[in-house]
């Protein structure tokens, strides 16, 4: 059974805009006396794939010393604000009042709160207090696709369901970690939120279903390592090489589960984890490079915002016109895992 159609999409980013060269300068200044190999590692900034990103805090803040509790408090505040903005914009885009909302799924991995983030977004957005709440944590970059698939499963002809994916990656920055993983993460990640509303009145594509796959013995590829001073990013394998090894089979298996062939897919919407990741996914899925133009434009202007990024790409694709036929959304995340979701325009 397919879900209600997409009725609205909204996005939000913080007000602080950072150019890539400015971030490089901050990192170089912070680590110049602590790494003998810094110039070589800083080469990760020297490309044309990301021009700017949006951060919750001004650049000077990233040179100050803060505790994990302070980092998490900033995540809680900014994630609530950004998530609320994205949800409100999605409901306006859907031409629906906030009191029409029946269920909200909130996806985030860059902080922790109890009451959970969904409760805070409901309170700030004046959504009904009877809304069904589903918080989703730990999926990282894969969360946007997984959250949308879950929204599709939760929808029905009489319900309005929203998924909100929000991350404040920048406040997790580790000022005392001179590892390559930390600097690579600093060159990629940014902050933002995206919301998608499913409702019977929508004219967009319907969510068919999601397909998840975890790869055994791959916890080392991507995730967080928890330390006393916060969350330390983990990258310990060549992700593009892994995609080229396993991506085609994973995509083929998903299509078989949906009862289609890869040739039946009209277009793909891919999470831009990085330029090399986009190239590897294009090869693995047997698609043309120009099909990732929207993903590359989002990467260029926003960087990798983790879970909401693929929904930014979906918004951009829909703003350029309807997505006819079948569309596959794709993202990778900790686990190591693949999340794929099939959308169909009636």
The tokens for 244 are: 């080229």
Q: pLDDT tens digits, residue range 9-64?
A: 999 999 999 998 888 888 878 777 766 677 777 777 777 789 999 999 998 888 88
Q: In this predicted structure, what is the pLDDT of residue 146?
A: 95
- Rounded to a whole number of angstroms, the CA Rg of the chain reads 19
Percent of the chain with pLDDT over 90: 62
Percent of the chain with pLDDT over 70: 98
Q: In this predicted structure, what is the pLDDT of residue 24?
A: 84
The closest alpha carbon to 222, from 259, 267, 262, 188, belongs to 188
Q: In this predicted structure, what is the pLDDT of residue 133?
A: 95
Mean pLDDT of 120-139: 94
With a cut of 90, say whether residue 232 has pLDDT above it.
Answer: no
Q: In this predicted structure, what is the pLDDT of residue 2?
A: 62
Rounded to whole angstroms, how far apart are CA atoms 258 and 215? 20
Rounded to whole angstroms, how far apart are CA atoms 142 and 137? 11
Q: In this predicted structure, what is the pLDDT of residue 276?
A: 86
With a cut of 70, say whether residue 1 has pLDDT above it.
Answer: no
- Between residues 317 and 239, which one has the greater pLDDT? 317
In which band, very low, low, confident or very high, does the pLDDT at 339 lie, cut at 50, 70 and 90? very high
Contact 307, 147 (CB under 8 A): yes
- Between residues 304 and 44, which one has the greater pLDDT? 304
Sort 241 into a burial class: Cβ within 10 Å, 0-12 / 13-18 / 19+.
exposed
Q: Is the pTM of this model over 0.95?
A: no
Q: pLDDT tens digits, residue range 63-116?
A: 888 888 999 999 999 999 999 999 999 999 999 999 999 999 999 999 999 999
CA atoms within 13 A on the CB side of 141: 29
Q: In this predicted structure, what is the pLDDT of residue 35?
A: 61
Point out the least confidently predicted range of 219-223, 243-247, 332-336: 219-223
The closest alpha carbon to 93, from 22, 24, 166, 8, belongs to 8
Mean pLDDT of 182-197: 89
CATH hierarchy code of domain 6-198: 3.40.47.10
Point out the least confidently predicted range of 154-158, 177-181, 246-250: 177-181
**Mean pLDDT, the chain, whole residue set:** 90
Query: Which residues of the chain form CATH 3.40.47.10?
Result: 6-198, 206-344
The tokens for 257 are: 């589960």
With a cut of 80, say whether residue 216 has pLDDT above it.
Answer: yes
Q: In this predicted structure, what is the pLDDT of residue 56?
A: 95
Q: In this predicted structure, what is the pLDDT of residue 271?
A: 94
Q: In this predicted structure, what is the pLDDT of residue 76?
A: 95
CATH H-level, domain 206-344: superfamily:
Thiolase/Chalcone synthase (3.40.47.10)
Q: pLDDT tens digits, residue range 271-293?
A: 998 888 899 999 999 898 888 99
In which band, very low, low, confident or very high, does the pLDDT at 234 lie, cut at 50, 70 and 90? confident
Mean pLDDT of 317-343: 92
């Amino acid at each position: 059974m397919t879900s209600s159609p997409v009725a609205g999409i909204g996005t939000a980013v913080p007000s602080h805009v950072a150019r890539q060269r400015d971030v490089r300068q901050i990192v170089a200044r912070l680590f110049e006396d602590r790494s003998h190999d810094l110039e070589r590692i800083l080469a990760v900034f020297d490309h044309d794939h990301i021009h700017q990103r949006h951060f919750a805090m001004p650049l000077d803040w990233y040179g100050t010393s803060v505790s994990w509790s302070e980092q998490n408090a900033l995540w809680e505040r900014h994630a609530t604000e950004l998530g609320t903005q994205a949800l409100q914009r999605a409901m306006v885009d859907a031409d629906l009042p906030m009191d029409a909302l029946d269920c909200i799924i909130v996806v985030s991995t860059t902080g922790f709160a109890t009451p959970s983030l969904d409760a805070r977004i409901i309170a700030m957005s004046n959504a009904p207090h009877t809304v069904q709440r589903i918080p989703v944590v730990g999926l990282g970059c894969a969360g946007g696709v997984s959250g949308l698939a879950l929204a599709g499963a939760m929808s029905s002809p009489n319900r309005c369901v929203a998924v909100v994916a929000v991350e404040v990656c920048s406040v997790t920055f580790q000022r005392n970690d001179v590892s390559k993983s930390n600097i690579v993460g600093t060159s990629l990640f940014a902050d933002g939120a995206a919301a998608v509303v499913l409702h019977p009145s929508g004219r967009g594509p319907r969510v068919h279903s999601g397909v998840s796959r975890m790869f055994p013995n791959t916890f080392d590829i991507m995730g967080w390592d928890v330390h006393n001073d916060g969350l330390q990013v983990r990258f310990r394998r060549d992700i593009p090489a892994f995609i080229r090894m396993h991506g085609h089979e994973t995509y083929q298996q998903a299509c078989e589960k949906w009862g289609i062939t890869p040739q039946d897919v009209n277009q793909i919407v891919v999470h831009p984890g990085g330029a090399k990741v986009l190239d590897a996914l294009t090869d693995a899925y047997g698609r043309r490079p120009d099909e990732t133009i929207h993903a590359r434009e989002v990467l260029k202007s926003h960087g990798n915002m983790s879970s909401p990024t693929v929904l930014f790409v979906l918004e951009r694709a829909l703003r350029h016109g309807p997505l006819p036929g079948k569309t596959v959304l794709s993202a990778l995340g900790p686990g190591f895992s693949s999340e794929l979701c099939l959308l169909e325009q009636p």
